[in-house]
Amino acid sequence: MKDKIQVIQITTATMLTTVGVILGNFSIILPIFSVPALRLDIVAIPIILAGLILGKWYGMGVGIVIDILNFLLYGQGAYHVGFTINYALIGLFSGLIPLFFMNKNFKFIKNTLLITSSVLILATIIVLYSLNDLSLGGDSVTLNLEIRIAIVSLIVVMTLLTLGFMYLTLRDYKYEIRDMYVVSIMIILIEFFVIILLTPLWIQDLFGQPYYIGFLARIIRGSLMIPFKIIIVLAIINVIKKQQVTSLRGFIES
């Protein structure tokens, strides 16, 4: 029985790794101040699922293998171990964070989500009003009041769409709302600590781009990508629970 479970785990990890490598081919890299420094992709999704389904160690392993294979197949420029660390941390956090909240009461989870999301939104607003211009691909864009309002409006719309999806899911699939909150907290913490805080360090080391520029660009990116990732992860979790395809190890079971 134990051998059968290990075979299933390895097979699942292999499938998720394959998905991550395929998604790596659809990544978009935007230059910031003429440096290829801002990557838009959903490669993190299979790594997150690996952590949720298989646990933190498989999550880390899938993240490491995906990053190395993506670099070998699609990589541009020099390899940096920092990005491999990022992917490993995504798998680690995906396995650990849901376990941390498993025995916490609903009020604690709700307050944690309010705090984490409020901090991110506040940081985004501060960033928007501290920048005078932003350069993409060598073209400098002045962040006037209209552009700032447009960015904030887009963030608000994405947030409302995410909330709408979450409550529609609750109605249609009888999904536990605390599970939705845990997923949201997990995505926010991963985006903030891994993508927003650490990635600018690796970009600075590779290209010499000042840390604050990468930090500012990613905090805006994160505010837009977080709702998108939450929607995708929740949709996949709904399918897993509804069809009973597999268990969600390290996640709140219904």
**What's the pLDDT band for 140 if we cut at 50, 70, 90?**
low
- Residue 108 belongs to some domain of the structure: yes
Determine the pLDDT at residue 254: 36
pLDDT tens-digit series, residues 152-164? 777 777 777 766 7
- Residue 229 belongs to some domain of the structure: yes
Kindly report the number of other CB atoms within 10 A of residue 91's CB atom.
31
pLDDT tens-digit series, residues 50-66? 998 888 999 999 999 99
- Residue 250 belongs to some domain of the structure: no
Mean pLDDT of 69-76: 84
Among left, alpha and beta (phi > 0; psi -120 to 50; other), residue 244 is: left
Mean pLDDT of 34-42: 60
- Residue 168 belongs to some domain of the structure: yes
Residue 21 has pLDDT above 60, yes or no: yes
Mean pLDDT of 138-162: 70
What CATH number has the domain bearing residue 82? 1.10.1760.20
Residue 143 has pLDDT above 70, yes or no: no
pLDDT tens-digit series, residues 110-119? 899 889 888 8
Residue 249 has pLDDT above 60, yes or no: no
- Residue 87 belongs to some domain of the structure: yes
**What's the pLDDT band for 175 if we cut at 50, 70, 90?**
low
- Residue 252 belongs to some domain of the structure: no
The mean-pLDDT minimum among 2-11, 26-35, 151-160, 163-172 falls in: 26-35
Which residues form the domain of 169?
A: 2-243
The pLDDT > 90 percentage for the chain reads: 25
> Which contacts (CB < 8 Å, 24+ apart) does range 73-81 have?
73/21, 73/24, 73/25, 74/24, 74/25, 74/27, 76/29, 76/36, 77/36, 77/206, 78/206, 80/202, 80/205, 80/206
- Residue 248 belongs to some domain of the structure: no
Residue 253 has pLDDT above 50, yes or no: no
pTM (2 decimals)? 0.81
Contact 70, 20 (CB under 8 A): yes
Domain count, the chain: 1
Nearest-angstrom CA–CA distance, 220 and 152: 10
- Residue 208 belongs to some domain of the structure: yes
Residue 123 has pLDDT above 80, yes or no: no
